[in-house]
């Protein structure tokens, strides 16, 4: 078996490969939780918070890999840029859902909801309370109810 450095000549290369893998898994979980909530974009905006419960319960969970990595990497590095890119892609996806849910201000709602996701992921580490993801989901419901008109049949 070749040494690790033959696959990843720089530590940053290894970190970037790890972030790519986490990105695929986490964003996939987030999208799946939204889909599982139903067809209505309003329901998907709230339903995506179900992904927090499974993430925070995972053995060895230490918080959001992107937030943790951003805190450890210097601004202007490839690693830091990758963390920002991930957060921007997630926010763009949430903005699209908010737009389809007819939010009064889709950009603002997306920013609020992604902040709630990040807070829920952080809270899952800090207090390891299984109620934390449920509290984030309840707050998301209030934000969505305030920002979006009711679904029409």
Domain ranges of the chain: 4-147
**pTM for the whole thing?**
0.89
| Helix (H) / strand (E) containing 4 | helix 4-7
- 3-class secondary-structure state, position 29: helix
User: What CATH number labels 4-147?
Assistant: 1.10.357.10
User: Would residue 108 be called left, alpha or beta, if left means φ above 0 and alpha means ψ between -120 and 50 degrees?
Assistant: alpha
Q: State pLDDT tens for residues 6-59.
A: 676 778 888 898 899 999 999 999 999 999 999 999 999 999 999 998 877 777
Quote the CA–CA distance of 108 and 81 in Å, as a whole number. Answer: 23
Q: State pLDDT tens for residues 52-100.
A: 988 777 776 777 888 888 888 889 999 999 999 999 999 999 999 999 9
């Amino acid at each position: 078996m070749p040494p690790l450095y033959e696959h990843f000549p720089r530590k940053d290369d290894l970190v970037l490969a790890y972030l790519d893998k986490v990105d695929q898994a986490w964003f996939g979980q987030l999208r799946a939780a939204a889909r599982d909530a139903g067809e209505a974009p309003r329901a998907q905006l709230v339903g995506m918070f179900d992904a927090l419960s499974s993430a925070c319960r995972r053995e060895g969970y230490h918080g959001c890999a992107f937030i943790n990595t951003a805190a450890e990497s210097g601004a202007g590095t490839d690693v830091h840029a990758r963390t920002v890119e991930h957060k921007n892609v997630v926010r763009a996806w949430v903005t699209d859902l908010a737009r389809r849910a007819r939010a009064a201000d889709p950009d603002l709602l997306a920013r609020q909801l992604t902040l709630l996701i990040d807070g829920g992921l952080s809270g899952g580490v800090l207090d390891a309370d299984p109620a934390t993801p449920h509290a984030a989901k309840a707050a998301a419901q209030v934000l969505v109810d305030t920002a979006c008109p009711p679904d029409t049949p």
